[in-house]
Amino acid sequence: MSLNCKNKLVPIAKRLSRELRKNSTSAEEIFWQAVRNRNFLDRKFYRQYPIFFDLLGKETFFIADFYCFEEKLVVEIDGAYHERQKDYDELRTMIINHHNIKVIRFDNEQVIKNLKNVLNEIEEIINGPHPKSHNY
């Protein structure tokens, strides 16, 4: 049981999520245009979505860059500052994974320069690897 009331956190998370959506990076905007409105594999993605969890009796949250409920998949698009917070990102991924949610990370450059490859990687996670064709 949490010592905090989730109801108190929800308005904070909503406000922070809205601010992050207003200040999206160009890589986040490119990715969002590709996946919004079920444009990608007919899956619904949410952007800047809060994921609540209990840590040592205290309820808190992370805001995922993108979240797909159907696949229990978080897509994180990392800027240069993530180089300085690798330990934090690893801990965050571990906590999210503990809630049976997969996390995949891409850096801004991957999304900007090769969106198709990024989407292919996500598709492989969702649908499994594409079988290789064999010539016999």
Q: Which pLDDT band holds residue 120 (cuts at 50, 70, 90)?
A: very high
* Boundaries of domain holding 52: 6-127
| Nearest Cα residue to 115 out of 28, 25, 22, 23 | 28
Query: What confidence score (pLDDT) does residue 129 get?
Result: 72
pLDDT surpassing 80 at residue 12: yes
**Residues constituting the chain:** 136
Residue 133 domain flag: no
Number of domains in the chain: 1
Residue 136 domain flag: no
Residue 1 domain flag: no
Please report, for the domain that includes residue 120, its CATH number: 3.40.960.10
- How far is Cα 136 from Cα 133, in angstroms, rounded to an integer? 10
Report the percentage of the chain scoring pLDDT > 90.
69
